[in-house]
């Protein structure tokens, strides 16, 4: 499935509006002094986006800030109503504020957000997407001593601190770390990985859920290699059930000790075939913990892929359209496979060699 026309038109109109506003309102003077992170108490991170992956890409920035000042309280201002199910138990996270996806088209919701935003006072507001109209509107409305973002010709929102991207990191989950150059930070302390900081209680609960699922099928956990599989993805990234069936037939023929668990969702309500088990969970942290309880997670480029990475399980990602260097796996134990010129069986053989 190709990208819908309305999505393409929306992107182009948004770019035109940004260009106009940057021409009219841009060019404000910014400070060259570093922000003393030891004196920062409250931070707002602005990312009005509703996709799981884009929000999980904030975790390296959140975790790095927390390592340099464990007392900082961070509010996330996002466009996903269930974002609290991802971030709620992370250290340093204080409040998740979700805003309507079409901010200007929802005047009542916009008023409520303005009232809430002005009520809270921040030391630093970080706009991680400087070229976004909605992100700049939100940043403008927030009551904050300092406002930080990237240098961007499409950015019209006055900022106290601007960072010019040096392109140090290509991956979307790491490039926000460049914004930390506005602080008095001389080196990074956190591993370059996604991490939602699952608690021990969440991990143990998921292990019990996996064991219960296996017991119903008379499967002994210690005798099996457990693979969590997610089949859904957006547009042309999605693979057909025929592709997945061929892939699994080859993989399971090579490795007789594999048990595959098909992760279901509202868009994928039925399991692939009778050889796989099924599991679903609407709570995203519980789902992430379940991924971690498994030995391996496999999917195309989609939100649950990044959730699995952030759960610290082992991941193999299958890419055909998006750029693996920008959206692929992070971490030495994980692998990204570009399968554009590979058959399902060839992909299965590659993965089989890595089990």
Supply the DSSP string of 147-199, one letter for each residue.
EEEE--TT--S--SEEE-------STTTGGGGGGGGBS--S--S-SS------
Which band of pLDDT confidence, cut at 50, 70 and 90, is reported for residue 178?
very high
Name the band, by pLDDT with cuts 50, 70 and 90, for residue 254. Answer: very high
Sheet holding 315-319, edge to edge: 277-279, 258-263, 225-230, 296-300, 315-319, 335-338
**Given a cut of 80, is residue 17 above it in pLDDT?**
no
Predicted local confidence at residue 146, as pLDDT: 96
Task: Find the largest Cα–Cα distance for the chain.
Answer: 68
Please report the pLDDT score of residue 116 as a whole number. 76
pLDDT at 70: 96
Q: What is the pLDDT of residue 16?
A: 65
Q: Which residue in 279, 270, 306, 274 sits closest to 211, CA to CA?
A: 279
Domain boundaries, given as residue ranges, for the chain: 5-182, 200-354
Task: With CA atoms as reference, report the closest residue to 60 among 134, 160, 171.
Answer: 171
CATH number of 5-182: 3.40.50.2000
Contacts of 322 (CB under 8 A, 6+ apart): 237, 301
pLDDT of residue 22: 56
- Is 60 exceeded by the pLDDT of residue 23? no
Higher pLDDT, 246 or 14: 246
Nearest to 199 by CA among 297, 97, 88: 88
Q: Which residue has the tokens 């992070």?
A: 330
- Tracing tokens 């900022």 back to the chain, one arrives at 159
pLDDT digits (tens, 9 = 90+) for 41-60: 999 999 988 899 999 999 99
Token pair for residue 313?
Answer: 């399980």
Write down the pLDDT at residue 189. Answer: 86
* 57/51 Cα distance (integer angstroms): 10
Mean pLDDT of the chain: 90
CATH code at 200-354: 3.40.50.2000
Once rounded to an integer, what is the mean pLDDT over residues 286-296?
98
Spell out where the chain has E strands.
42-47, 73-78, 93-98, 121-127, 143-150, 161-163, 225-230, 258-263, 277-279, 296-300, 315-319, 335-338
pLDDT recorded at residue 347: 98
**pLDDT surpasses 90 at 350:** yes
Quote the tokens at residue 220: 């002994």
Q: Is 9 helix (H, G, I), strand (E, B) or coil?
A: helix
pLDDT band at 133 (very low <50, low <70, confident <90, very high): confident
pLDDT beyond 60 at 78: yes
Report the distance separating Cα 316 and Cα 336, nearest Å: 6
pLDDT digits 0-9 by tens, 185-235: 988 888 899 999 999 999 999 999 999 999 999 999 999 999 999 999 999
179 contacts 128 by C-beta, under 8 angstroms: yes
Q: Fold match between 5-182 and 200-354?
A: yes
Whether the pLDDT of residue 295 is over 90: the answer is yes
Task: Over range 157-183, report the average pLDDT.
Answer: 93
Rounded Cα–Cα distance for residues 199 and 221 (Å):
22
User: What's the mean pLDDT in 261-284?
Assistant: 97
SS3 call for 211: helix
Are 230 and 279 contacting, i.e. CB atoms less than 8 angstroms apart?
Answer: no
- Are the C-beta atoms of residues 188 and 177 closer than 8 Å to each other? yes
């Amino acid at each position: 499935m190709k990208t819908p026309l309305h999505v393409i038109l929306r992107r182009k109109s948004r770019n035109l509006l940004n260009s106009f506003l940057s021409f009219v309102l841009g060019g404000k003077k910014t400070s060259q002094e570093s922000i003393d992170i030891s004196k920062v108490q409250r931070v707002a991170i602005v990312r009005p986006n509703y996709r799981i992956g884009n929000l999980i890409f904030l975790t390296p920035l959140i975790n790095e800030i927390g390592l340099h000042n464990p007392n900082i309280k961070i509010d996330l201002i996002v466009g996903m109503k269930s974002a609290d199910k991802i971030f709620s138990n992370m250290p340093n996270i204080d409040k998740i504020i979700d805003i309507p996806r079409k901010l200007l088209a929802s005047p009542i919701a916009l008023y409520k957000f303005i009232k809430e935003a002005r009520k809270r006072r921040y030391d630093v507001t970080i706009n991680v997407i400087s070229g976004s109209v909605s992100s700049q509107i939100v940043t403008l409305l927030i009551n904050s001593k300092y406002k930080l973002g990237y240098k961007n010709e499409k950015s019209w929102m006055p900022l106290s601190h601007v960072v010019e991207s040096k392109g140090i990191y290509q991956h979307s989950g790491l490039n926000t770390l460049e914004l930390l150059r506005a602080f008095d930070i001389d080196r990074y302390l956190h591993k370059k990985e996604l991490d939602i900081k699952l608690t021990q209680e969440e991990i143990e609960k998921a292990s019990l859920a996996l064991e219960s699922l296996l017991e119903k099928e008379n499967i002994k956990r210690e005798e099996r290699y457990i693979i969590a599989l997610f089949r859904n993805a957006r547009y042309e990234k999605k693979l057909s059930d025929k592709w997945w069936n061929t892939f699994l037939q080859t993989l399971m023929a090579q490795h007789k000790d594999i048990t595959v668990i098909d992760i279901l969702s509202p868009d994928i309500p039925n399991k692939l075939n009778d050889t796989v088990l099924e599991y679903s969970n609407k709570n995203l942290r519980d789902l992430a913990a379940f991924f971690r309880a498994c030995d391996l997670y496999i999917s195309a480029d989609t939100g649950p892929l990044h959730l699995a990475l952030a759960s610290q399980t082992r991941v193999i990602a299958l890419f055909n359209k998006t750029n693996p260097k920008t959206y692929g796996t992070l971490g030495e134990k994980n692998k990204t496979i570009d399968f554009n010129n590979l058959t399902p069986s060839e992909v299965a053989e590659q993965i089989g060699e890595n089990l």
